Every structure is written in C-alpha cells, then in structure tokens.
Structure 1
Amino acid sequence: MAIDRRAFLAGVAAVSGCAAAGPRVATGTAASKNDMIVVNALGGLGDPNHPSDGNVPDVSPRVLAEAHASGLTAVNVTLGYVAGPFDPYEYSVNEIAATDALVRAHSGDLMKVYSAADIRRAKDEGKIGLIYGFQNGAMMGETPERVDTFAALGVRVFQLTYNPANLLGDGSMAPKNRGLTPLGRDVIARCNANRVMVDLSHSGEQTCLEATLASEQPISINHTGCRALTDLPRNKTDAELRQVAERGGFVGIYFMPFLNSTGHATAEDVVAHLAHAVNICGEDHVGIGTDGSVTQIDDLAAYEAVLAKEIAERRAAGISAAGERPDTYPFVADLRGPEQFRKLQGLLAAKGWREARIEKIMGLNFLRYAETIWGA
C-alpha cells in the first residue's frame, strides 16, 4: 500500500476522537460559542475506522455529522502526491478530479473554496469548505508552469517540500539544510502569479527563510510547532516564525506529538505553543492547523497495531520525522474529537485570552491571510 502522510494522519488525528470527547465547557465561556469562524489550516475529513486509499476525503454520514458538530467552517485538505511509487503529476490530477466529484455529490454539506469569500459563504450556508492543498511539490516535476494548471484546477495551497529534499528545496529532515533551489524559486514565482499560498510547513529552516524572502507575497507555515519549546526538526525556529509574520504571513499550530519532547503532547502543550507563537509573531498571524480530523477511532487497540506498521513503513521509505515513534500517537490525547475546537477555545479563555484574540486564532487570522493571497 502506498505510504501517504495524509491518509496516515487521517487515521491518526482522527483517533483524536477515540475515547470520549472532552467535556463541553459551561455556557457563557468563549468555548461554548458556535458562531466563530473555525478554519483548520491543515486537517482532513475521514473516518479512521474505515480508512480509504489516497487522500480523497471520506464523507460518510458520520464524518459529515461530526464535522458539522465540531463547528468547523473550512479545512485545508491535502490532495495529490505526498510519497509513493506512482507518478506524482497523474496521481495529483486524478485526486483533484475525484474530490471535485465528491463535492458535487455532497453539495448540501460541502463546497470547494477558491477565495476568502467562499469561507465566509460556507459559514453563512452551514457547509464545510474544502481548501485544496498539496504537501509536496514533486508533481511539478521540472516544469514550474504546472502551477498554472493546478491553480486552474482549484488548488489553493502549495507546500514546497515534504520531510525529505525534493527538486524545490530541502525538507525538515534533509541533513544538509541546503535551502531553496532555482527551480523552487521559479515555482514560488508561479505561485505568486497565480495568487496561491506558498506553504513551508515541512521545509528545512534555510528553505523556509529563503522562500519567505523570495516570495513577493506573504507565505504560510500552516501546521507546525515552536522549536524554542520543543527542539525537533518539524517545529519552526523563532527566526522562521518572526520572518513569516513580519512579511504578513500566517502560522498554524498543530495538535501533534512534536509539541512535547516525550512525544505525548497535551492540550496544555498546544496552548503553550500558541502562546509562544503569538509572542513571536503577534496575535494577527497565528492560527491552528491541527494536522488531523474530528472523527474518533472506536477501537484504539486495533489502531495501535496499524500505527506501528505505518511508522515502520514511513521509516523504510525515508519520509518520517524525528519524534515519530510507534509508542506515541500523532495527535493530542486530551484535545480530540468533535469537541476539540470548543475545548481549545475554553482553555484559551481560561488563560485570560480575550474573545477577540481567540476568534483570530480559531479562523479570522487565516481568513485575513487568505484575503491577502486569494483576494476577498
């Protein structure tokens, strides 16, 4: 079976709902509000109890019901090639077409997001907006003009690298941290011309710093943590975070094990990394990119066996990240399931964060950034 990070994480962070979801916060707190725009800058729609091949979202009645119940407004879903033996370009085109068909078949619940206005419309109409994104630029081959094709197909987020190096630059696990390639600069220029997001989530530090300066438009780091708090390659340094924010970009904090050196991250770790990111970037440039879904896993014991196999396969393929281990779930144990967004809002409110700041973190900052890149 192809080793695909998005499919892996759909089964991973959807486990985020495994045991009982967190308790509802008392009425009157920020966490009780359902009217916030909630944008997950990297996540998924899927049922880890019935995993499917590839990255095309699984929108069973249960998945749709739990996504609506979570208060989710829009989510950046990874489509296309991440890793594996198939042709990156053909695979990516086929997944876009399959997801388009899925959105048409479920038009009462889903809508494809092209612009920031579509996110607002999803909220107004009670739908879940799907933002099409890539997590590896390998489908560009040596032809940066392919960005034009994918942008026309509705892809709105272009992550340059996954964990290893590719033709565009070095990923977070590439040992030499060589930075951006000339082809990578050409792809960024095509992204700018097409007004699509350049995402540096899995990039190496030098690639991120160089790409931020090379781009004429602000860039994003849609799902990461803060390396100042947990020194792992998948987390970003203060220099990266600061430079992205200073140039008008966006940083999303994930709900992943990389937030704690033990590999067992908690909700308090998420809050701590959000607080650090706000201190470095300012409250107008930080949001959430959970790297997971909202549907729970029913049989955790069965999942643990699958997880061990997936980790072994990812290591064999050379695409795993430091901090991934069979004994650490790639989700935050006490911040999972359909209540995860409301619970986070409550935790931030309990820290004294005012509601206006919480609204920014939950979705308005991503929306502002989307308006900058895609247009209103």
Structure 2
Amino acid sequence: MIIDRRTLFGLAGATLAAHAATGKAAHAATVKAASAARADPVVINALGALDDPNHPLDEDDRGPLVITPRMIADAHASGETAVNITLGYVAGSGDPFESSVGAIGRWDRALRAHPRDLLKVLGTDDILRAGASRKIGIIYGFQNAAMMGSDASRVDIFADLGVRVVQLTYNAANQLGDGSMVPAGRGLSKFGHEVVERLNANRIMVDLSHSGRQICLDAIRASRQPISINHTGCRAVTDLPRNKTDEELRLVARSGGFVGIYFMPFLAASGHATAADVVAHIEHALNVCGEDHVGIGTDGGTTAIDDLEAYKSALAKEHADRVAKGIAATGERADTHPFVDDLRGRGQFRKLGSLLAARGHKSTTIEKVLGTNFLRYAREIWG
C-alpha cells in the first residue's frame, strides 16, 4: 500500500503524544515509518532561505517583506518540508535588538498573509503538521546573538516571539566570543555562558556555525543540551576557517547534536564548489559523526538566479559591502558564488539524493541526511 504525503504526516502527527510518553524509541519508529511510506523523503533545510533573488524588493529587509508566488512554488516543488531562515540582525549598523524584533514582526505578517502555504514552526509537531497540510514550515533563527546586548534574559523575549535557533556569533566577534574570522580566537565569555544557559532553559537550539574553534568547543561543553552546527563544511577536506575540524564535529555528535553541510564556496579550495564537493563533505561528516548526526543546511533558497552573468555585478557589490563591514570570510571572493552552480533551484534536494545513492549510500542514510536527522535533533531540543 502506498501512503501519500498528506496521509503519512497525518498519521505522524497523531503519534506525537506517543513521542512524549516513550521518548526516542517512539520517535525513531515514526521516522522509520515516514521514510518507508513517502515517495519523497522528509526534507528539512537546517539553514536556508525563502527568497527570490530575481525580485529586487526582496533585497530590502527594512521594508515590508515580499513573498512572491515563485518563492512559494519553488519551495513546494523542491519537496522541502521545513527550512530554518535567518532573520534579525546579522551585521552592520542599527540597533541589533530593535532590528531583530522588527524582522520577526515582518515575518509574522508575511506568514499570516500566506496561511495556505506557510506555517511558523514552534516545535517538531509543527513540522509534521506542515507536511500533512502541504505547507512549508518556517523556523525562525538568528545568525548572531548580538541582539542580546548585555541582558541574557532577552533570550526569553525571543523565545516567546518564536525564535527556535540562535547562532552565538557570526564571522566577527561579539559579546559572547569570537567568530571564525577573528585571529584571537576567544572562547565563550562569561556572558556567553549566561546566554547558553538561558537558551537551554528555553529549549532553543544553540548553533555554532560561523564560530571560532574555541568558542565552539567551550559551548559544546557548557550546554546541558546537544548543540548544532547547522551550516558548515569539514576542515579536513577543505582547510578554511568557515569549516569545522574533526574535533569539533566529533564532539557535536558525541553530545547527540547535529551537523548540517552547506552548499557554499568554502567546500572547495578554488572557491568554486560543485555538487561532488558537497557529497565529499557529507561523506566525511558521516565518517566522523556517524549517520545519525549529519544533515544539510544549504545556506540558500530553492529559487535559482535566472541570469548568472547579470548576477556577477550584483555579487561584486555584495562582496565589497561584506568586506567593508568586516564580515567577509576567507574563501569568499567577488567571483565565488554563494551557492553551488550545479546543485541549486527546485531540484537540488532530489539531485543530492540521487548523487548519494550513486555513491552507494543506503536509502535510510540518505533520508536521514535530507531531513530525519534534523527532525530527531529538533525533538531532542524542543521537546
């Protein structure tokens, strides 16, 4: 008997009470049933986007958020069940707290305007509900914790507003510690420890993407809950600061955490990463972490840029702006695309699955990488 997507997620949603009562065993059973019954696997992008890079109004995050029909259509066509989007302050001018609260308000309004297609994710049950109702689950996440100021209790505010992932630093330093581009490499500060404790208390994911090595190791040890590195590569494969060492990856896995591999230029020393590079980094992470702790965090959306030649001038301007702000990473240049040319657009997840299958990976492993490992980790953190 073939169970379609709607029926499957309806059945999965009905078992949520069983998850709470019986823990990991019940969750594993539901994930196994989901993987076996679906024509397409559950796809959860641990760090991505819902955007249309061909639409100029989408570039201005200070004004009303623009959700285009194409953005929604491409996300649906990709098979994506849920995506962790970046909102709020990342770098630049303006008050980090005010801009982050404002961004949440704009996204809330956008989701209310598209109730048939988009669903705000507050827990794993919402991911299952999104799948059952053929919607895209939107997970609110920060890529910098600068908006906490000097008050760790702000974590409570953002938790109440629906933020479910907080990355401690971006590439530069903040009050919690040093990002991956800071030579000093400070570890987790006293205030950083306070924020991690508050994130744990609110059951928010502690994300160590973009972090320096020492703050990553410190946070893994400080957190009472498993941590994640939602979008990264493997330093042993490509030696660039944005990629994580085997030591970091191994400790994340041992804690029960999650590692998402991105589709970014840092996967190749040339800066021009291909789908084969994505597969190579996933395979290394699987070898280091084990197949239960590796997934994807593409750092991109599902709508492809239509005209790559015309995009070159926009990319050069964007890169210059990042350099001026001091947030550019080693390995990104004016001629390196912030995506993988042959693994983008609405077909990217299915193509990745096919490439992994061609390499001899089992269907159960591929399903874990595409989404069910993140679902397992989310259940661990969000309850």
TM-score (normalizing by structure 1): 0.90
Unaligned runs of 5+ in 1: 1-29
Matched residues in 2 for 1:34 and 1:202: separation? Answer: 35
Deviation of 1:57 (Å): 6.0
Q: 1:12: which partner in 2?
A: none
Matched residues in 1 for 2:175 and 2:65: separation? Answer: 28
Q: 1:261: which partner in 2?
A: 269
Q: 1:17: which partner in 2?
A: none
Deviation of 1:297 (Å): 1.3
Matched residues in 1 for 2:189 and 2:248: separation? Answer: 18
Q: 2:108: which partner in 1?
A: 100
Identity %: 66
1:89 partner amino acid:
F
1:47 partner amino acid:
D
Matched residues in 2 for 1:70 and 1:57: separation? Answer: 22
Matched, 1:369 2:373: no
* 3-state secondary structure, aligned to 1:75: strand
8 Å CA contact 1:138, 1:166 repeated in 2: yes
Matched, 1:50 2:50: no
Find 2:173's aligned residue among 148, 165, 176.
165
Matched residues in 2 for 1:136 and 1:328: separation? Answer: 23
Matched residues in 2 for 1:138 and 1:178: separation? Answer: 16
Matched, 1:296 2:300: no
* 3-state secondary structure, aligned to 2:346: coil
Matched residues in 1 for 2:310 and 2:359: separation? Answer: 36
8 Å CA contact 1:47, 1:63 repeated in 2: yes
8 Å CA contact 2:65, 2:106 repeated in 1: no
Matched residues in 2 for 1:82 and 1:162: separation? Answer: 7
1:374 partner amino acid:
W
Q: Answer 1 or 2: which has greater helix percent.
A: 2
Deviation of 1:50 (Å): 1.1
TM-score (normalizing by structure 2): 0.88
Deviation of 1:201 (Å): 0.2
Matched, 1:223 2:223: no
Deviation of 1:84 (Å): 1.5
8 Å CA contact 1:245, 1:282 repeated in 2: yes
8 Å CA contact 1:38, 1:74 repeated in 2: yes
Q: CA RMSD in A?
A: 1.2
* 3-state secondary structure, aligned to 1:330: coil
Matched residues in 1 for 2:39 and 2:47: separation? Answer: 20
Q: 1:322: which partner in 2?
A: 330
Matched residues in 2 for 1:198 and 1:54: separation? Answer: 24
Q: 1:20: which partner in 2?
A: none
Find 1:37's aligned residue among 29, 38, 42.
42
Unaligned runs of 5+ in 2: 1-34
Deviation of 1:299 (Å): 2.0
Q: Deviations over 1:241-282 (max 9, x none)?
A: 000000000000000000000001010100000000010000
Matched residues in 1 for 2:258 and 2:234: separation? Answer: 14
Q: Deviations over 1:193-249 (max 9, x none)?
A: 000000000100000000000000000000000000000000000000000000000
8 Å CA contact 1:42, 1:290 repeated in 2: yes
Q: Deviations over 1:278-332 (max 9, x none)?
A: 1000000000000001112122222100100111111111000000101111111
Find 1:306's aligned residue among 314, 326, 343.
314
Matched, 1:179 2:187: yes
